[in-house]
Structure formats: structure tokens, C-alpha cells
């Protein structure tokens, strides 16, 4: 069988690319259904983009690489598509756009777009072997127990990163990129809960509080959630992309609170109130109980000196912790790092060294913040690649 374009991976980026890549496209995926991560994303409602998409909200060794694709297919372009399909949506918070109903509406929309473009989709299909003769790629595929040999002028690597292997994530794109001479940067789980081997937060698991969490100079003001194994919630998921084993994190438990003034005034008005009771007016009670030994909280507010009030405030503003690790790829939303962008053309997503080889989506060393940015990268890089292939054809 001969096609113009073979796309490996029917996820967010692969499907978007197929819808724009012109005629004669075959998309293969080893999963039973396309877009499985879209289906489970955003608690089943898919946070499909972010109104505040901006290149500064992405990480990667080259901070400029993603600018071109993001500016040529923007969050507004994707929203336009969603509106054309009459998919109802809402902004949840911080520019994050979600479906009102079901994430599968996005999958169905992409399937329709692909079908309208004439792309074929082969599910439960795996790649057995791949070669290149200088002009064409030849892929040996296995589908329904049968071998198929497919030749293609263009090959698109869209098999994503390593996060959630249970859902079929593999390092296939990295292996093929390496096979054709591309470098792959170090990869790490990102947007992932952080863990503590002593499970010190197990007694307060389920408690959530607004914080400013910071790792290696980057801070996010969002909610923090204590879990059996450590820390989660959007603030922690965000900083996990900036954290490495051995690094400390700092948590400001008092965003928007002037604890110094509150305790000084309570000293005058409610001097007989227990210090823990006074703090529990600002922080969740179970968290105050948890912190009481570490902070030696005892006695009444009336007995607090100015110095002690300053000391408590500074401690709670710079609560410093050293996580042992993270939950890893088992639960990470994304993989940080990936195929190095050094030898990829940022306008077309094509290899600079091997014409016809394209790399898109999470497989590439571009990682977004939490909040719809990773899907936007999948859409933008998929469209950039698809349009380039259509032009090449
Ligand atoms: C639980 C969860 C929730 C998320 N929620 C959001 C969210 O709300 N908003 C957001 O922006 N991002 C979210 N993300 C991140 C987002 O899902 C990814 O960044 C995005 O799906 C990447 O798109 P992709 O097409 O590059 O890869 P994927 O969508 O992962 O697609 C890769 C495809 O390749 C296939 N594949 C892999 N290996 C092989 C192989 N060896 N052979 C054949 N096929 C293969 C897979 O089956 C898959 O269909 C979430 C991720 C997770 C895990």
C-alpha cells in the first residue's frame, strides 16, 4: 500500500494534523480508540485550550521554538472550530476553557474533521519495522494479526510522551527520532503530584488551601491539596515542572492574608483565644493542628510577642519542604522534554536533516503549563505540520 502521509498516533496532535495534511493520509494507533487522553482529560470535560495562551507558558530547551506554530494556529482558531461544531463550553478559571458536556465531543469533532479530509484511521495497529530508502519511508504494520507494508513520502511522529503507560503511552516517537539522527533531551514526568516517603501528610489528606507555591524561582498562586502520599492540587502540579529530585519547594500558606495585623489585633480584642484557634480562622483547622508541633503552637494570642508573631508569619509564608519524589509517569499529565527542537523547522515541524520526517505534539521538547496549554500545543503543532505536508504535496 502506498500513501502520501503516514501518521503514527491518533491522539490530539495526530488527528489535528490528519485533518490538514491533504490527500492520501493514513493514521495508525495501537489503541482501540483514537484520542483516549482527550476523552479522560479535564475530568471528562477536556480543558481544550486556554484564552491566555502565550509562549511564556511553555517549557523547553529552546524558549522560542513553539512561538511560530502557536501564533499561526491560535487558541481563537481552535475555539472557532469548537463553535462551528456547536460544542458548548465555559471558562472554568484562569482562561481555562472546558466542554460543558463531554470531552468525547472533541474526539468526535476531530474524527469528523479527519474523515472529511479523507484520512484513513487504522486502530489496534502497531509498527513492526520502519526504514527509509532516501525518498520513501516503508513501514511494516501489524493489524488484526496481518502484516501490511506501507510506503509513504511523509512520516509524522505523533505518539506523544511517556505519561500514563497504562493508557498505551510509549517512547516510540523518541526511538524513531533517534533512529533518524535526532537527539532526545532528558525526559521527566511533569504536572505530577509530589511525594514524601514518610507520608507525613496522610493525616490531613483531602485538605485543600490556596497558596503560592514556588520551585526554582517559578511560583504559581493556586490551590494546594494534601494527599496520602504528599502534595497535589494545581499549584503543586504546576511547580512540579520546575522541580527536580533533591530540590526544595517553598509554600506561602498566607496569600492575601496579613497575619501580622490579624494576630496583633486579636491580641487586643481576643487575648484569651488559643493561638491555634486564631490561626484556624485563616488556615484549615486540620492543617493548623498538623503544623502545631512543628511551630510549637501553644498558649493564648494575648501572650504572643511581636517577635513571635513575625516568626510565625515568616514561617507560614516560606514553608520549606523537600519532596522525596513524584508520582511518576503513572499519573503525570505530561512528559517534560522530548525530541530536541534543535533540528526541527519550527514553521513546518519537519526534520532539518531528513525531509519528509515530521514531529509534533507532546513527543517534542515543548511542555505547557497546566490549564489547556498542552492541547493547544498539540493543535498548533498538528496544524503547522499538516499544512506543510499539504503544501509539499
Ligand atoms: C489524565 C490526563 C489529563 C489531561 N488533561 C489535559 C487537559 O485538560 N488539557 C490539556 O491541555 N492537556 C491535558 N493533558 C495532556 C494532554 O492529554 C497531552 O498533552 C496531549 O494529549 C498530547 O497530544 P499528543 O497527540 O502529542 O499525544 P497523545 O494525545 O498522547 O496521543 C498519542 C497517541 O499515540 C498512540 N501511541 C503511543 N505509542 C504508540 C505506539 N507504540 N504505536 C501506536 N500508537 C501509539 C497513543 O495510543 C495515542 O493515541 C492531560 C493528560 C492526562 C494524562
Q: What is the pLDDT of residues 149-176, one digit of tens each?
A: 999 999 999 999 999 999 999 999 999 9
Question: Which of 31, 36, 374 for a ligand 1 pocket mutation test, highest count of atoms within 8 Å of Cβ?
Answer: 374
The pLDDT tens digits for 307-340 are 999 999 999 999 999 999 999 999 999 999 999 9
Distance 114 CA to ligand 1 centre (A): 17
Q: Do the Cβ atoms of 346 and 68 come closer than 8 Å?
A: yes
CB of 34 closer than 8 Å to CB of 111: yes
pLDDT digits (tens, 9 = 90+) for 200-210: 999 999 999 99
Return the C-alpha torsion angle 192, 195, 200, 202, nearest 10. Answer: 50
pLDDT > 90 fraction of the chain, expressed in percent and rounded: 99
Q: What are phi and psi of 387, to 5 degrees?
A: -65, -40
DSSP helix/strand/coil, 25: strand
Q: 130 CA distance to ligand 1 centroid (A)?
A: 22
Torsion-angle region of residue 46: left (phi > 0), alpha (psi -120 to 50) or beta? Answer: left
Q: For atom 27 of ligand 1, which residue has the closest CA?
A: 160
Cα 107 to averaged position of ligand 1 atoms, centre (Å): 12
pLDDT per position as a tens digit, 56-89? 999 999 999 999 999 999 999 999 999 999 999 9
Are 190 and 67 within 8 A, CB to CB? no
* Ligand 1 environment, Cβ below 6 A: 8-14, 29-31, 36-37, 40-42, 46-47, 126-127, 158-160, 163-164, 168-170, 172, 333-334, 361-363, 372-375, 378
Amino acid at each position: 500500500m502506498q500513501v502520501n502521509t503516514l501518521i503514527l498516533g491518533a491522539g490530539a496532535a495526530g488527528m489535528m494534523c490528519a485533518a490538514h495534511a491533504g490527500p492520501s493520509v493514513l493514521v495508525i494507533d495501537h489503541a482501540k480508540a483514537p484520542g483516549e487522553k482527550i476523552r479522560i482529560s479535564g475530568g471528562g470535560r477536556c480543558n481544550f485550550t486556554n484564552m491566555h495562551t502565550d509562549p511564556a507558558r511553555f517549557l523547553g530547551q529552546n524558549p522560542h521554538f513553539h512561538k511560530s506554530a502557536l501564533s499561526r494556529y491560535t487558541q481563537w482558531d481552535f475555539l472557532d472550530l469548537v463553535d462551528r461544531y456547536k460544542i458548548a463550553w465555559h471558562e472554568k478559571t484562569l482562561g481555562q476553557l472546558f466542554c460543558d458536556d463531554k470531552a468525547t465531543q472533541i474526539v468526535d469533532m476531530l474524527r469528523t474533521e479527519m474523515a472529511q479530509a479523507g484520512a484513513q484511521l487504522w486502530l489496534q495497529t502497531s509498527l513492526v519495522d520502519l526504514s527509509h530508502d532516501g525518498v520513501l519511508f516503508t513501514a511494516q504494520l501489524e493489524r488484526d494479526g496481518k502484516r501490511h507494508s506501507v510506503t509513504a513520502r511523509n512520516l509524522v511522529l505523533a505518539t506523544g510522551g511517556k505519561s500514563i503507560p497504562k493508557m498505551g503511552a510509549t517512547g516510540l516517537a523518541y526511538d524513531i527520532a533517534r533512529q533518524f539522527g535526532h537527539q532526545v533531551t532528558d525526559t521527566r514526568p511533569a504536572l505530577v503530584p509530589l511525594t514524601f516517603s514518610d507520608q507525613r501528610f496522610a493525616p490531613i489528606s483531602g485538605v485543600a488551601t490556596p497558596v503560592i507555591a514556588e520551585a526554582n524561582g517559578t511560583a504559581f498562586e493556586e490551590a494546594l491539596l494534601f494527599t496520602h502520599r504528599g502534595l497535589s492540587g494545581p499549584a503543586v502540579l504546576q511547580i512540579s515542572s520546575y522541580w527536580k529530585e533533591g530540590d526544595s519547594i517553598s509554600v506561602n500558606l498566607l496569600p492575601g492574608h496579613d497575619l501580622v495585623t490579624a494576630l496583633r489585633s486579636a491580641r487586643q480584642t481576643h487575648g484569651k483565644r488559643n493561638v491555634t484557634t486564631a490561626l484556624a480562622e485563616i488556615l484549615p483547622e486540620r492543617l493548623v493542628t498538623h503544623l502545631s508541633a512543628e511551630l510549637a503552637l501553644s498558649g493564648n494570642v494575648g501572650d504572643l510577642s511581636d517577635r513571635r508573631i513575625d516568626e510565625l508569619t515568616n514561617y507560614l509564608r516560606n514553608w520549606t519542604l523537600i519532596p522525596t519524589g513524584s508520582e511518576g509517569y503513572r499519573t503525570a499529565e505530561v512528559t517534560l522534554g522530548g525530541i530536541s527542537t534543535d533540528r526541527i523547522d519550527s514553521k513546518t515541524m519537519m526534520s532539518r536533516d531528513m525531509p519528509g520526517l515530521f514531529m509534533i505534539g507532546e513527543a517534542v521538547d515543548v511542555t505547557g503549563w497546566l490549564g489547556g496549554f498542552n492541547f493547544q500545543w498539540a493543535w498548533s503543532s498538528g496544524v503547522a505540520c499538516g499544512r506543510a505536508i499539504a503544501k509539499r504535496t
